[in-house]
Structure 1
């Protein structure tokens, strides 16, 4: 009983009309969105209960609106349907609500008018609430739903404005159908589309109005949605858009249809007559263009005869150069809603420099140097067939020579799949691996440009060029912008000026300066990388180069102690030219029984030739190490006497094998011991040099020489760089002793 009385009292209070309703004018302060929403809800309740206060206004009130001006508390986008009169539904007075109406309460084909009107209302009139109001049984939405459900493949050209409106509202019906799933009836889809359309309009306002976004961010304005139910008269309030937080990061300042020809260039397209675009502005233009494309509101495509003539007369001045994939699903100009003259586009399968390096790098040097573009974007995309193929090639472990150009391309991209696999670790699915490899490949191409082009590096250093990466998502139409390469700062110090396939090579002679250890090591790494990816640059030696070596003498940047194994041609696996490397080789890359020759040669190279890097290189599956390991285990069972030089050589490696056995543990197999012994033997040789050569030890101690080690993987072609010996700091502090085999000779002398 008490509850009934309370409800009755509320109803009486609701319907109790004040003596005289006041109109809102500019004299009144702006109303908070919460208070405005409260007034709308109360007004709708009065309308539903059949006791509206009405909008009777006296002459004085009307005169007040004229003299003091309007200050509506709410702006409403509603449908033009005659059954949904907004002032009546919310029982408002003149001056209360700022009303925009069209068929379907949409911004489609009315975006400039709607957004501009709302910016005026919120910024100039002080309204703090925007309400987008749909209604049940909406003819526009039901018509759009029928058009969508009845449509045949291929978009039909609209025969009149109404057909155009219904076709463009079809995206709302499509989204509603997808959310409901198969089996939903046409009426169910249309009913749900009413709600989807409300959020669609709210999202449009957030996406394409910088002014409205800023006021929402600061809490000055709220955007709410609602559905008016014709059957009951009540308004269902939906709250804010679920996408509001995301859309507040939009960079679009104005609706797509309002992009003027002037913004695209003096002649409606970008030409050589226009000023060059800074990289940050160019990136913003790409983001806005992609936003228009993803939102289904592109503005490009209309290129009148005058614009084409302007491009011919004034030449091109693209604001960005883009390296993208040749995939037909990724039309670069379309993805960024660009007109002719805006983008300088390079495309190939896999958006890569592999096997196209000269063309790609040269083209980008032309675009940035001659045309003045200040932004390069490397664009990969999801579901990339080239990357998927390269990933499969990597997983299959294909090492055979390619039988066709496609196989060569996939093998060249396999390094990307390898890096992605190592970054994700074991357990990653094929789908995860391919997806990550797409991103790795984007950075790989960006790094290639920085590594092999001095003109591009110089522009980046001077702040006149920015190289960015991105991934186009086929599923959404949106580009994920990745920013700069994490390695950019490092690669800006690269000394390479040409892609590997274009480099003729520069012969080092005694007239060249001394190469610092760090640079020499980097040269080895880059050469090995070229060897691995199948893009070596060495081998092209002209007569003049050979003559220079003969007449001017040598100045190798690195001395290498390597194995004599025919599978490890040192100059080849480091992609080196004659004059680059001072090479010492024997079975097992060891000083054992060759110490005098090795030490003397290295003292000559580091002294007379001023080489500042010694590199000791072992390799996997080394026959000498495997033989020494087998002999060691056999001797444990039955000691034998050395009968020849080979036996003595293997016996000399006993110390290395014994250390490997100790470190590997009792359960280690002979194969595991041999694999570890390869690495330990490298350190053993490095240590021997410092133990038994005072000139070498002194140079290491003074920083004039570095000794590094590595292991060459026969299967992958890659060199694992091991760095300095763990024992180096201790060895450089101790006095060197004469090598055992040299001591007797020196004493005898």
Structure 2
């Protein structure tokens, strides 16, 4: 195409080139559909020339989607992409044809864009490309495929250095896509560096157009698969392309790259058949197989456990290991992107200002192509994060009566943030000083949350929520339950919410609760006329919890196992305890009705370290309206 136009404008003396698109263009609409499928996690592997064409045009669709925002309909994006494609084609001619650039520069040739409206028969003339002036200064002599295939093609004559201008994020993303396409079709244009290139990099510094957090896997050489030259990419690699410590080398390195080197694109790149992710998945499903518990490898696999857990949750119990592993790779990319946004105020600031883009991708080993995933679905929410420093570089204060009162929703957020720090192994709490102890003794307590939890030694509440002394008012017994309306737990909560003005009560169960399992076993035995052997006090406790076990059994099928009944009973027990509190304490119910106190439920997962916050009791409104 480019060669034909060079012949026409040069040999035939033609003075006008019109790039003409048309409405409802099937190829553009197909490319837009391909882009939306990829962004939703439903990629179609490239199998034909048509698939390759749609893949090439997906750059246009992505630009259109970016322009129109995340809520635009697919058809509207496609209509806008038709218009963008016209200018994209004009820009390609100007960028990759020295002959055409020279003729445009001296006024011999005019390149215009237009759009034919099929419903009216009218051609809408769109004028020149908005980028024409900047592209006329381009130094590229010929299109990539011609340069790569021509025996007379000279190596790329220069490398990016510190004297080059910063590359905007979208342009950098397009450079990555173009480079990967050249790699995938076997037509790379990057050559071995020369002594002059080496000297330029040494003397003029670096200005990489993209930073890439990728895997250390030898089958995924980052510079090669993007057909990049020295100086193009700032590359960080480890097993699993992950960030496990917010103050570690990965986050700090990316902050340096963005703030000091001016890089405007970060790509988190996973790849298919990632053995680190697969190992974490196996650890999650089958337990540790490491011969050295506590080794660095064991730690890495444990850090990736949350990825494996989420993949299993997304796909359900019937997915096989290969399906889970493939999905976990995708989940891990977004986890790493979210980690960067969550724990780096520097990166968040650049993203908020529009100067930085953080994107995800998956390199497919079998095709050589990178599937670009776009932004994290959680980006907007994470940009509102108030975390200023990585966890281990911060310090938690203590709460006393001298602190301002907080709202229930603020207390809940403190619990969620603390549990997240605990789950990823980056707690802040600790190192209480003599001054802190004196302040607590002198000024008194003002806990932000009251927690009714289980006495199980594996569920240490202050640790689970990464709390400092003075943060939590903790009540614990076997089964996190109430057995008497006038008992110490009820009275303690009334004291906490009344005298101490604590705004949040969390009823927290946990997985594999022995008390619930015991109550379930007792209930199952009773249905089979078997005698339960337990001491009087324990027997009384199990009997009080057997109501929950019975409700769980009735909720499930008749062939449900005892373990399945117990698992559901853990959740039902949380709601049962919340309802008991609301029903039997008019004092607390009144505070809930006035919005002064909130009662929430949760289940602590012993394996993952994460709390599943269940929200309020479904019966809350009904109960408090009876008072």
Say yes or no: TM over 0.5.
yes
Alpha-carbon distance in 1 for matches of 2:296, 2:535: 53
Q: Normalising by structure 1, what TM-score?
A: 0.61
Q: Residue 269 of structure 2: SS of its match in structure 1? A: strand
Match of 1:611 in 2: 502
SS at match of 2:474: strand
CA contact (8 A) 1:593 1:649 kept: no
Equivalent residue in structure 2 for 1:345, among 228, 235, 244: 235
Asked if the contact 1:327/1:349 (under 8 Å) is kept, the reply is yes
Deviation at 1:302, TM superposition (A): 4.9
1:326/1:347 contact within 8 Å kept:
yes
Please give the alpha-carbon distance, in whole angstroms, between the structure 1 residues aligned to 2:9 and 2:411: 64
Checking the alignment, whether the CA contact within 8 Å between 2:453 and 2:508 is kept in structure 1 is yes
Q: 1:719 aligns with which of 590, 611, 614?
A: 611
Provide, for residues 202-238 of structure 1, a one-character-per-residue CA deviation record: whole Å limited to 9, x for no partner: xxxxxxxx9989799989xxxxxxxxxxxxxxxxxxx
**Aligned residue number for residue 412 of structure 1:** 303
- The answer for the alignment partner of 2:54 in structure 1 is 246
- 2:370 matches 1:370: no
Aligned counterpart, 2:5: 119
How far does residue 489 in structure 1 lie from its aligned partner after superposition? 1.7
Matched, 1:422 2:275: no
2:516 aligned residue (617, 620, 625):
625
Residue by residue over 1:436-460, the C-alpha shift from the partner in whole angstroms, topping out at 9 and shown as x without a partner, is: 2211111110011112222222222
| 1: CA distance, partners of 2:530 / 2:189 | 86
Could you tell me which residue of structure 2 aligns to residue 588 of structure 1? 479
Distance 1:270 1:441, change over 3 A: same
- Equivalence for 1:75: none
TM-score, normalised with respect to structure 2: 0.72
Question: Does residue 394 of the first structure (1) align with residue 284 of the second (2)?
Answer: yes
Deviations 1:579-598 (A, max 9, x none): 33221111221221374422
Which residue is equivalent to 1:562? 453
Q: Of the two structures, which has the highest relative contact order with CA contacts closer than 8 Å and spacing of 6 or more?
A: 2
* Separation of aligned partners in 2, 1:248 and 1:668: 52
Structure 2 counterpart SS, 1:443: helix
1:538 aligns with 2:429: yes
Contact persistence 2:333–2:360 (CA under 8 A): yes
- The CA deviation string for residues 454-493 of structure 1, in whole angstroms up to 9 with x for no partner, is 2222222222221100112222222111100111122222
Q: Deviations over 1:22-51 (max 9, x none)?
A: xxxxxxxxxxxxxxxxxxxxxxxxxxxxxx
Q: Where does residue 450 of structure 1 map in the other structure?
A: 341
Task: Report if the CA contact (8 A) 2:453-2:509 is conserved.
Answer: yes
Secondary structure, counterpart of 1:280 in structure 2? helix
- Asked whether the equivalents of residues 469 and 483 of structure 1 are also in contact (C-alpha less than 8 Å), the reply is yes
SS of 2:385's partner is coil
- The match for 1:474 is 365
Match 1:431 to one of 322, 326, 330: 322
Please tell me whether the aligned partners of residues 269 and 339 of structure 1 are also in contact (alpha carbons under 8 angstroms).
yes
CA gap 1:541/1:312 in 2 versus in 1, 3 angstroms: farther
Secondary structure of 1:721's counterpart equals: strand
Structure 2 counterpart SS, 1:470: strand
**Superposition pairs of residues 662-677 of structure 1, within 5 angstroms:** 662-664=554-556, 671-677=563-569
Per-residue CA distance 1:361-391 (angstroms, 9 max, x = gap): 1222222223222211101112222122222
| Residue ranges of structure 1 left out of the alignment (5+ in a row) | 1-114, 129-209, 220-239, 736-749
1:313 deviates by: 4.2
Partners of 1:214 and 1:124 lie apart in 2 by 24
Q: Which residue of 1 aligns with 2:571?
A: 679
Contact 1:256/1:299 (CA < 8 Å) preserved in 2? no
Q: Secondary structure at the match of 1:249?
A: helix
Residues 540 and 634 from structure 1, CA distance in 2 versus in 1: closer, same or farther, beyond 3 angstroms? same
From 445, 449, 465, the equivalent of 2:356 is 465
Equivalent in 577, 591, 611 of residue 699 of structure 1: 591
Give the whole-Å Cα distance in 2 for the aligned partners of 1:429 and 1:642.
Answer: 42
Aligned pair 1:325/2:197, yes or no?
no
Task: Decide whether the 8 Å contact of 2:246 with 2:391 is kept in 1.
Answer: no
The verdict on how the C-alpha distance between 1:294 and 1:424 changes in structure 2, with shifts beyond 3 A counting, is same
2: CA distance between counterparts of 1:492 and 1:286?
A: 25
**Would you say the 8 A contact 2:96–2:140 is kept in 1?**
no
Please tell me whether residue 278 in structure 1 is matched to residue 86 in structure 2. Answer: no
- Cα deviation for residue 689 of structure 1 reads 2.0
Runs of 5+ consecutive residues of structure 2 not aligned to the other structure: 27-47, 60-87, 99-134, 142-156
Q: Name the SS of the counterpart of 1:729 in structure 2.
A: helix
The secondary structure found in structure 1 opposite 2:303 is: helix
Counterpart mapping for 1:485-496 below 5 A: 485-496=376-387
What is the aligned residue count?
518
Work out the CA distance in 2 between the residues paired with 1:453 and 1:607: 39
**Alpha-carbon shift at residue 396 of structure 1 (Å):** 1.6
| Conserved? CA contact 2:284–2:308, under 8 Å | yes
Aligned pair in 2 of structure 1 residues 591, 212: CA closer, same or farther (>3 Å)?
Answer: same
RMSD of equivalent CA atoms: 3.9
Which residue matches 1:16?
Answer: none
1:157-177 per-position Cα deviation (integer Å, ceiling 9, x unaligned): xxxxxxxxxxxxxxxxxxxxx
Secondary structure, aligned partner of 2:305: helix
Matches of 2:523 and 2:456 in 1, distance apart? Answer: 21
- Are the counterparts in 1 of residues 418 and 427 from structure 2 also a CA contact under 8 Å? yes
Match of 2:490 in 1: 599
Q: Mark the CA change 1:485 to 1:244 in structure 2 (over 3 Å): closer, same or farther.
A: closer
